[in-house]
Structure 1
């Protein structure tokens, strides 16, 4: 059974579907409570009435080879947005570095479908990446960065982001295999961390995702 049923409205209007009409399907992926009460969750139509466990299992079958990591030494409020975007682009995992606790409201419940891993410090993330054969790609607009728009991103990688304000720590920058920057043309010095993460993830998708399989 799931315990995720959303309220009657989301985004200001009714979403989802009502109770199942007709004989109930026998497929074990379906949740009896959702069939009886309706499914108002923020999920794509293919997952209507499915249990959370069934949705995660299907996502695991198709997950991409990139991971996302974000430093959280000062309670960064962007982490929820990063998790939600990672779910949208089907990241393998989201790694939170530093403080274990973060504001989940911005994730819009997508953290239930997204694998999360905690590392107490940057060294832990770097050790994990090396052990898993993942290149560490820092996203930072400092000196020596390669423009994301022209960079060749490794297929198996961790996209590493600093928290809002201070950006990446010196240890994170030093441990990266590649540093990329997002080209900007206005007066602001930096992008919001959640926005930058979405742009970088989409950059990976443009280079490596299969856009012909019908799953996007």
Structure 2
């Protein structure tokens, strides 16, 4: 038996159109089939991003892009779900956007030539410095599970397989490790990013906010 609605989203607006600059006339006329929460149905992309900007969280997420890692798009999508302040791509400017499912349109995505450049940007932010913490199971890494994570932090992920580059390790203020109990030495980079971001949410987010989406 099929599960869920036959189509995602909603059809054309029924009745008199609502008034307000945030409504998108094309969506009102043709329907809104985007993967957005109900609160943003029929809103323009620009209006959604502006509203998100009023309440973004204080954490950032970054990923090294030396081998055109396919995980980057998934990291961007998760950063949107947890409302990261910014997403940073380090290394190659081009990255595979398929996994982002167009969520990069709602996110601030910045490019940096290398990790020292990222660290310099984070440490000079006008609202105060943001610590750069790598996510890698390295000797001396602080257990992510020990919490809490810093409120103003950027989680840096390395490439799938090799993990953080040597330059990234040197540029980080500290590193976090994620506890594992099986036989493999590492977990997927996008999964590690999701765990790190959710750790921040558990420690610092307003979970009672009526705008928190739970399905």
- Superposition TM-score tier, normalisation by shorter sequence: over 0.9
Q: What is the rounded CA distance, in whole Å, between the counterparts of 1:148 and 1:165 in structure 2?
A: 20
8 Å CA contact 1:129–1:135 kept in 2: the answer is yes
Write the deviation string for residues 159-204 of structure 1: whole angstroms up to 9, x where unpaired.
1110111110111112212211111011111000000000000001
Q: What is the rounded CA distance, in whole Å, between the counterparts of 1:18 and 1:48 in structure 2?
A: 10
Q: Out of 97, 111, 121, which is 1:118 matched to?
A: 111
Write the deviation string for residues 127-158 of structure 1: whole angstroms up to 9, x where unpaired.
11111200011111011111100032110111
1:85 aligns with 2:81: no
Q: What is the rounded CA distance, in whole Å, between the counterparts of 1:13 and 1:109 in structure 2?
A: 21
1:60 aligns with 2:60: no
Q: Which residue does the alignment assign to 1:94?
A: 87
Q: Which residue does the alignment assign to 1:195?
A: 191
Q: What is the rounded CA distance, in whole Å, between the counterparts of 1:164 and 1:14 in structure 2?
A: 35
Q: Which residue does the alignment assign to 2:135?
A: 139
1:47 aligns with 2:45: no
8 Å CA contact 1:39–1:49 kept in 2: the answer is yes
163-172 or 198-207: bigger deviation: 163-172
RMSD, aligned α-carbons: 1.2
1:160 aligns with 2:153: no
Q: Secondary structure at the match of 2:54?
A: helix
8 Å CA contact 1:151–1:180 kept in 2: the answer is no
Q: CA deviation at 1:123?
A: 1.4
Unaligned runs of 5+ residues in structure 2 are none
Q: CA deviation at 1:25?
A: 0.6
| Runs ≥4 residues deviating over 4 A | none
> Normalising to structure 2: TM-score of the pair?
0.93
> Normalising to structure 1: TM-score of the pair?
0.93
8 Å CA contact 1:141–1:181 kept in 2: the answer is yes
Unaligned runs of 5+ residues in structure 1 are 1-10
